[in-house]
Amino acid sequence: MNSRKIALKVLDEVLNKGAYSNLALNNAFKDASLEQKDRGFITEIVYGTIKYKESIDSIISLYVKDVNKIDRRVINILRSSIYQLKYLDKVPEYAAVNEAVGIAKKFSLSTSKFVNGVLRNFIRNLDKEPEFKKLNSKLAFKYSFPLWMVDFFINQYGSEKAEEILVGLNMTPKLTVRVNNLKGDYQEVFDSLKEKGYKVSEGYASPEAISIDRGSSIENNEFFKDGKLIVQDESAMLVSPLLDLEENMTVMDLCAAPGGKSTHIAELLNNKGKVLSFDIHKNKLSLIRENAKRLGISIIDARQQDATKLNEYLVNTADRILLDVPCSGLGIIRKKPEIKYQKTIKDLKDIRDIQIDIMENAWSYLKSGGVMVYSTCTLNKEENEYNVKEFLRKHENCEVEKIFIGNLPNFIYNEDGTLTILPNEFMDGFYMAKLKKR
């Protein structure tokens, strides 16, 4: 199977069957013997087509009366081909069109003629785009976001910040790794990666981060295998240090899988104390244990538990609690662009009940004088500041401890002392609040 056929298969899984792009890609690569450059090309087509689907559909509507009536698999042929023609410089027009027409022939001769006609029309009018009068529609087309989501960001952040968010969510994320201080020295790891041909730079926001721009697969690197580093986004790296950790503390991570933050907590404790890492999904506990073992961590106890259900045995037992709750994920669209099309306003509202239940239980587990850090990877203020405000109203023994971790252009220090991180090439969109139990 050639690269474009594999890309189309993945697009069908994601856009028509609701699969996650990263998992669908991994499954496709397992089933095919591919060179690295082919994997790169497939990944580019998949992520690029999903990222720009909204804009591409608007372009297709210039040449087709009703986009919604096109067979769901056929429209993905058009989408991926137009993505290559419009957004990729190195793909020859004839190659993109001929491949698309050839794939379309498996449906019927008329389908192949239809695909050929639309693509030829598009090539003759490469600069033609739909015209929009309103700002929200212009932004929706320019950055390829559903109109409701553009309106949502404008309503919460204003038009200027909303556009900054859309730009950030369309950026290609850098690969960042966190150096494990239990096993490795930062400078030693940094210099060795450089010597082995990786193009590396110091982290954008986290002192433990190394940004990797180019090099062979990091999972095959000896430092990764030896547990001297772990792949983690820089936004996520900033959460655990807010807990003010000291050796021999008991710390809970209530929504822990795959364990990046739990292992960071254990490292900051110098592997002395206890880290209880809970997750609702039993099959994900192995990820936490595997990461801990590779990193040389022995204090993590990974257990299955539904964080929305109160466990009376845990009441008043934790010195510190990390609460990285399930959320709408609007801050990680740059890594999972399908979130644009899989989420609805209703989803954003429904998730809040779960978050509030988890907060209430976590507060019961926290000792007096303890610290709880609440974090999300979303930019929805209702899941962030509004949840914290409501929690403070209900709990007189709770106070916000002001967060300050430096002045960066994508950091918003909110009036209540919490922090919102806007997405860019280095960081996911993120939110964190530090709560003290008086």
Give DSSP secondary structure letters for 364-430. Answer: HHEEEEEEEEEEES---TTTTHHHHHHHHHH-TTEEEEPP-----TTEEE-TTS-EEE---SS---E
Question: In 3D, which of 156, 122, 154, 155 has the Cα closest to residue 139?
Answer: 154
Is residue 436 part of an annotated ligand binding site? no
Nearest to 288 by CA among 271, 306, 311, 263: 263
Is 261 annotated to bind ligand? yes
**Mean pLDDT value across the chain:** 94
How far is it, in rounded angstroms, from Cα 418 to Cα 369? 19
Hey, which CATH number is domain 3-124, 3.40.50.1370, 1.10.940.10, 1.25.40.390, 3.40.50.300? 1.10.940.10
**Annotated binding-site residue? 96:** no
Decide if 377 is catalytic.
yes
What does the pLDDT read at residue 38?
86
Catalytic residue among 377, 419, 422, 435: 377
Nearest to 50 by CA among 146, 181, 123, 183: 146
Residue 304 structure tokens: 């299955």
Residue 398 is labelled as binding a ligand: no
- 126 or 312: which leads in pLDDT: 312
Tell me: domain 234-437, CATH 3.10.560.10, correct? Answer: no
Q: How far apart are CA 402 and CA 418, in angstroms?
A: 6
Token readout for 169 is: 């969510």
Residue 78: band (very low, low, confident or very high) from pLDDT cuts 50, 70, 90: very high
Give 35's pLDDT tier (boundaries 50, 70, 90).
confident
Q: Which residues pair with 399 in a beta bridge?
A: 436
Give 172's DSSP letter: P
Condensed to tens digits (0 to 9), the pLDDT of residues 153-204 reads 999 999 999 999 999 999 999 899 999 999 989 999 999 999 988 899 999 9
| Count, residues in the chain | 438
Summarize the confidence of residues 360-382 as an average pLDDT.
98
Q: What is the mean pLDDT of residues 228-244?
A: 97
Report helix, strand and coil shares of the chain as percent, to nearest 5: 50, 15, 35
Please determine, for residue 215, whether its predicted confidence score (pLDDT) is greater than 60: no
What gap in Å lies between CA 270 and CA 227, rounded to an integer? 15
In this prediction, residue 32 carries a pLDDT of 75
Q: Where are the beta strands (DSSP E) in 223-379?
A: 229-231, 250-253, 274-279, 300-304, 318-324, 366-376
Confidence of residue 1 (pLDDT cuts 50, 70, 90): low
| Direct distance between the N- and C-terminal alpha carbons of the chain, in angstroms, rounded to an integer | 62
* The pLDDT value given to residue 136: 97
The reply, when asked if residue 257 is annotated as ligand binding, is yes
Instruction: Collapse the DSSP code of 160 into the 3-class scheme (helix H, G, I; strand E, B; otherwise coil) and give the result.
Output: helix
Domain chopping of the chain, boundaries: 3-124, 135-169, 234-437
Reference 397, options 324, 316, 326; nearest CA is 316
